[in-house]
Amino acid sequence: MTHLTSDQLVDAVEGTLSADRAGHLEQCATCRASAESLRVVLRDVQLASTDPEPSPLFWDHFSRRVRTATDAERVPVTWWRSVWGPVVAVSATAGAIALAVLIRQGSALPTGVPAPPAPTVATVDADVSEIITSVAGDLSFEELKQSDLVPSRAAVDVAVSKLSESQQRELMRLVNERLAGSE
C-alpha cells in the first residue's frame, strides 16, 4: 500500500484520517514516524501560543482610535444611492437651468413671433420650479456640493449641449451677467 500523502499526514495529526488510511498508518513505521514528528512540532507551536489579552480599558480606546481614523473617510454608500443621488441631482439641475433659460427667452421674444418648439423640460411647470427653489434656493454652492446636489462637470456639459443655439446664447448671457455682478 502507498504511504500517506501530505494531506493524509495532516489528517492523521488532526485525528481526521479515514479508516482505511488509518489502517495503513498502524502498520507502516515510516508513516507513523512522519506523523509523530509533525505532532511534536504542532505541540511546540501550540505551547508557544500567546494569549494576547490587553487591558479591558484598551478596547474603548481602540474603538475611539478607529472612529477617529475613519472619521476622515467618507461613508461608502451602496450603488442605488450612489447612482440615483447624482441622477436626481443632475436631472433637477438640468431642469432648473433649462427652465430659467426658457423663462428668460420667452420674455425676450417679440410679440407675434411664434415660440420655438419646447424641449422636454418645458413641461416642467411652475410648481416644480417652486419646489426646486424652496429646496435649494437658500443653500450656498458649498452646501449644495456637500449634499451631492451639484452635478458633475460632464453632466453639465451634456445638459448644455442639448440646449438650442439661442438657449445657449441666453445661458452665456446669464452667466456673464452673473460673473459681472460678482466682480
Partner 1 sequence: MRVGPDSAVACGWMPAREVRMTRLDAPAAAAVPADDLAGADDRALVAAFLAGRREAFDLIVERHRRAVYQLCYRFVGNHEDASDLAQDVFVRAFKGLTKFKGDSSLSTWLYRVGVNTCLNRVSVKRPTTESIDAAPRIDDRAVDPLDLVMRDERAVVVRRAIERLPPKQRATLVLRVYQELSHEEIARVLGSSVGAVKANFFHALGNLKRLLHSS
Q: Is the dihedral of CA 89, 94, 99, 101 positive or negative?
A: positive
Nearest to 159 by CA among 120, 112, 128, 131: 120
The string of DSSP codes covering 61-89 is HHHHHHHHHHHTSPPP--HHHHHHHHHHH
Pick the closer one to partner 1 by CB: 73 or 127. Answer: 73
Window 16-45: contact mask with partner 1 (x via CB under 8 A): ---------------------xx-xxx-xx
What is the Cα gyration radius of the chain? 36
Q: Does 57 bind partner 1 (CB under 8 A)?
A: no
Among 19, 29, 57, 69, binds partner 1 (CB under 8 A): 69
Distance CA 171, CA 105 (A): 10
Q: Taking contact as CB under 8 A, which single stretch among the options 69-77, 127-135, 146-154, 173-181 is the one that binds partner 1?
A: 69-77
Contacting positions for partner 1 (CB under 8 A): 6-7, 9-11, 13, 37-38, 40-42, 44-52, 54, 58-59, 62-63, 65-67, 69-70, 73, 75-78, 80-81
